Structure 1
C-alpha cells in the first residue's frame, strides 16, 4: 500500500514539472548577436489594447530585460516581438451521465445518457521573435495553458506571468 502511495505522489510531482510551453527556433541563428528588441507594429490592428495585451506586454518587457535585451525603436531593434492570443473552441463535459444495463449469459443490453457539454472558447498565447533584418521568425513559444472568460483578473495576470516566464526560461535556446 505504501509503495502505491509513493508511486502516485511521484507521478503527480513529475506531472507538475512538465513543461507548459512549447518552443521552436531556427538552429542556424546565433542568438547571442541580438541585443535589442521592439514590439512589432500591426497596422491591421485598430482600436484599443485589451487588458490581456497590456498584461502580456508588461511581462514580455520584464523578461526581455532579464535577458539583457534593451528596448529600442522598431526601426533600430535587432528583434521584433510579436504575440497573439489564438482562440480555440473545445467541448467541456460537466455533471453526470447515467446508465443502466441488464444481461443474461451471454447477451445483454443497456442504455446511457451522455454527459451535458458546453462550448468553451479559450485563448492560447503565442510569442514570436523575428529578426528585423530579414523579417524571419527565429524563435517561437506557445502555451499549453489557456486563458478563458471564466478566470478572474488576478488569475489571468498570474497565468500570463507564469506562462511568459516559462517561455523565456527557454530563451536563448540551448544549441545541441
Structure 2
C-alpha cells in the first residue's frame, strides 16, 4: 500500500511540473506592447521548413489571442524570434545483465550496463525583444522535445501545445 501511495504522489508531482520555462526582464512594462512582428532574420528568407511553418502558425494564433496586432517590423513594439535548439541525450535501448554469488555477508558480483544510443532532439525557444532597445524582454523554452521519429501530426500537436503553454505565461505576472 505504501508503494502505491508513493507512486501516486510521484505521478501527481510529475504531472504538475510545467513543460516550459520562462524568463523576463522585471523592469519591463509589458502593458505598453500592443504590436508585434517577426524579427528581420525570421522573415521569409528562402525556404521555410515544415517545423518553422508550424511554429509560425502557433505563434500567430497565440499573439492574436493576446490581442496583439501584427505590423511591419519597423513599426512593431515587439520582435519575435524562435529557434529549435538541438540537444543530445542518451537513451537506454535494452537491459543490463549481471550475476553474483556469495555466502553470508560476503559475495562477488559482475554486471554490464544496459546498451544506450545517442539521440538528437529539438527544444523550442521563443524570445520577444523590445524593438526600440533591441533587448530581449521575455523568453520561453520548452522542456518537451521534437525528434525525428514523430509523425507530422504529432509534431504539429506538440508545437501547438508547447507554444500555447509558453504564451499562457505571457505577459508575466498575470498567471
Give TM-score, length-normalised by structure 1: 0.91
Gaps of 5+ in 1: none
Alpha-carbon RMSD across the aligned residues, in angstroms, is 1.8
The alignment of Structure 1 onto Structure 2 pairs a total of residues equal to 173
1:11 to 1:108, Cα distance in 2 relative to 1, 3 A: closer
Query: What is the alpha-carbon distance in structure 2 between the residues aligned to residue 154 and residue 143 of structure 1?
Result: 18
Query: What is the alpha-carbon distance in structure 2 between the residues aligned to residue 14 and residue 158 of structure 1?
Result: 24
Instruction: Output one character per residue of 1:62-86: Cα deviation in whole Å (capped at 9) or x when no partner.
Output: 0001011010001010000000000
Corresponding residue of 1:91:
90
Gaps of 5+ in 2: none
Query: What is the alpha-carbon distance in structure 2 between the residues aligned to residue 103 and residue 47 of structure 1?
Result: 67
Query: What is the alpha-carbon distance in structure 1 between the residues aligned to residue 62 and residue 79 of structure 2?
Result: 14
* Structure 1 segments of 4+ aligned residues over 6 angstroms from their partners: none
Please show how residues 14-33 of structure 1 align to structure 2 within 5 Å: 14-33=13-32
Corresponding residue of 2:164:
165
For the residue of structure 1 that corresponds to 2:89, the secondary structure is strand
Give TM-score, length-normalised by structure 2: 0.92
Corresponding residue of 2:66:
67
Corresponding residue of 2:81:
82
1:141 is the counterpart of 2:140: yes
For the residue of structure 1 that corresponds to 2:96, the secondary structure is coil
